[in-house]
Amino acid sequence: MPMDTLSAEEAAQLLHLNVKRVQGLARAGKLPAARIGRKWLFRRDELEALLGRPAIAQPQGTMAISARNRLRGSIASLKFDGLMAEVVLRIGDQELVAVITRSSADRLRLALGDEVFAVIKATEVILGKEGREA
């Protein structure tokens, strides 16, 4: 099945936003996109998911996941900007920032002080230690 890609103009039309706004959100990493030369390309399925139109229905109830890196924390800050939400979690004396879709934040009914899990799934984790050079 071929991947359906959209230009910035087509993405703006789909999202009901100004083209410059769509390009700015992509540049800031707040919209999933790829830059090819001077043009931004967007996957239709990713934008549809941001609009709350998932291709596959989500199962109801609890769900087992394969990720082992789960951190429990409470929401210290919650900011909305268009289609995106910035969630700052307080985990012990540290903060973790997650940028998720606004529709996900709404679906989870996130609010300040809520206890949530951050699930981290990555192929690479980089560690650092002060006072040591590589």
- Every domain of the chain with CATH number 2.40.50.100 lies at 69-120
**Tens digits of per-residue pLDDT, 38-85?**
899 998 888 888 877 654 444 555 666 666 677 888 999 999 999 999
Q: Is the pTM of this model over 0.75?
A: no
5-50 adopts what CATH topology? Molybdopterin biosynthesis moea protein, domain 2 (3.90.105)
- The distance of Cα 45 from the centroid of its chain, to the nearest Å, equals 14
CATH of domain 69-120: 2.40.50.100
CA distance 69 to 29: 23
All CATH 3.90.105 domain ranges of the chain, comma separated, are 5-50
CB 117 within 8 A of CB 74: no
Q: What are 1-51's pLDDT values in tens digits?
A: 456 889 999 999 988 889 999 999 999 988 999 988 889 999 888 888 887
